[in-house]
Amino acid sequence: MTGKQMVRQEDLFELKSVTNPVLSPDASEAVFVVTQIDQEENAYHAHLYHLDVESGSSVQWTYGKERVSQPQWSPDGKRVAFLSTRDEKNQLFVMQAAGGEARKVTEVETGVSSFLWAPCGTKIWLTSTLEDGKTFADKEEKDEKKQPEALRVTTMKYKADGAGLVKEDRHSQIGCLHIESGEITAFTEGPFHHSLQAVSHCGKKLVVGVNRAENKDFDFRQPLALVDVETKEETVLVDEEGYFGGAAFSLDDRYIAYGGSDRTFENATHSGLYVYDCENQTTLNLTEALDAPVGDAVVADHQQGPNPPEAVWTEGNYLYFQVTTMGDVRLYFADLEGSLYPASPESEHVYDYGVAKNGQFALAAISNPVNPGELYRLDISTGERQALTSFNEDYVKDKNLVQPETVQLEGAGGFDVHGWLMKPANYEDGSKVPLIVNIHGGPHAMYGNSFFHEMQVLAAQGWGVLYINPRGSHGYSQAFVDAVRGDYGGGDYQDIMDALDDVLEHHEWIDQDKLGVTGGSYGGFMTNWIVGHTDRFKAAITQRSISNWISFFGVSDIGYYFSDWQIKADMTDVDTLWKHSPLKYAENVKTPLLILHSENDLRCPIEQAEQLYITLKSMKKDTEFVRFPESDHNLSRTGKPNLRITRLNELTGWFEKYL
């Protein structure tokens, strides 16, 4: 025994999330955000910290019951702006880097969504969602006796998980704040959503995202335009089906980098990194030869609010960006001549980062399975690294954390299947223990080499944990991520069961008569599918799941197009939708099934759980149903802290009962 403490559900209150590293213009200083859960308040508090890059010393800059986000240095490096919820709605604050109180510089009724400094340092571009016809200065009349109002819906995208019902008369607009006067001048107008992407270093150009299509029900575009600040004349950068964003000007303003993906494989399409040449008006896909997606596709439950740039330009027109590959998220380098290679090591998760303008070093927030995440200075040329923060150091020292071992096998159809296996934290040689199979959501996401509190909790209970990336997962080839579409419950199910058979064959410490399975979202669908197709598992827990693709089509915020993209069927082909619905196979279920679901989940609405529960109960199956109030699809990651603890207790309690 190590004498270390076992990981507990309540460790959520000890862990700290370190994100948003932003270097000052001369790269001698940085700011970053630390998020921690306040158990007494049952809330997340996020505060701004300052870092001296050379000495590695850091100091907390903001306090109180607030959440700080999106910190940015002024162009001269003398001030820092950030968004804060200290007055409930997100407003913009500016503070002097030399010290002193932060000054609130906006009073926008609906709050500020995002912002970028103008190069002059006297203005800040910002976005806010405004009611059509209203200005940034308008105030909402507060009526204590306001009566409920009906909501007229004329579009299909009328609700969104985490946001609720979408008012059709509100749109995101861009304005320009004059810091001294506090006046905000409107820059955009019209009943369209505008996103502020980038400001040129000369201050004369913006990159703006806007889709002006009249009917957007089946329109999945965010065109990007280069806009002249004075004349508002627009030059189209990209306008095609798919999502594109994260634009950034090169230091000489000649090039604009942006990320995104078209719809060749619908939402399974790999994201790429593109560069637009403003002089020649040509576009280059820098990552065309890379069979892996740009960006971060890792699913975990610890990091709060990372906000990594899509790409960072350095002197010489070099680029740095994230790539999701083989369980890792790595920092990559590219130039305009076609060079492309990793700039950070394997076996870790670079979940946020900044790069010095001279390209000599990166400031990166990095996690691995036994490190919740800290900031590191990465020397680009030598590969050397220096830890700059130690917020979770004592936690790591005190806890018995399990380092998973890599699992890899050849799956059906010639695909390699990759994942991880954890022994129990208190494993004693010669003993046999239960195994939990944990399946991720998405399905186009990825388990990775990142800290995952839930996995450590399960291992601390004395169980092994198997978590893999079946076909459909990101981080592998385009063919692999696309292979699940139209085949839910086919090759993906086979991958999971093949991985299970593989670890049972090679690890005698697993008790093959005591197997459990769980998963959320797509992982919940797969848990439902598994118990309807095999009785090998002695206990199962399905979370925020899909059980019936026919009703999902009409009740999910994404159902009417996601079903077509993923199942390759819509309401003109209910036979196919039903064939892939776990509810169809409810009569076969022999495994005790616990159903966990959030009441405000609009992605996989709770009626999916209700149908499954009542159907199983009517068939006299062993099942229970736990409903989480005031919670959406992201309960396990960003939900109310007390309910996150309850959820983990439900997981361990059910497996304890049946395994």
Catalytic residues: 521, 633
Quote the CA–CA distance of 348 and 274 in Å, as a whole number.
25
Q: Which residue has the tokens 């000007």?
A: 249
Q: Which two tokens stand for residue 604?
A: 């996989």
Quote the CA–CA distance of 582 and 530 in Å, as a whole number.
8
Longest dimension (CA), the chain: 76
Quote the CA–CA distance of 108 and 90 in Å, as a whole number.
9
Decide if 196 contacts 114 (C-beta within 8 A).
Answer: yes
Please write down the HEC assignment for all residues of 428-440.
CCCCCEEEEEEEC
Decide if 364 contacts 384 (C-beta within 8 A).
Answer: no
Question: Residue 323 to residues 96, 348, 489: CA-CA distances in angstroms?
Answer: 35, 12, 28
Decide if 68 contacts 47 (C-beta within 8 A).
Answer: yes
What is the per-residue DSSP string for 363-429? EEEEEETTEEEEEEEEETTT--EEE---TTHHHHHHB-----EEEEEE-GGG-EEEEEEE--TT--T
**CA gyration radius, the chain:** 25
253: left (phi over 0), alpha (psi -120 to 50) or beta: left
* Residue 585: φ, ψ to 5°: -105, 20
| Listed residue (571, 577, 572) closest to 554, CA to CA | 571
Note the residue count of the chain. Answer: 659
Decide if 550 contacts 556 (C-beta within 8 A).
Answer: no
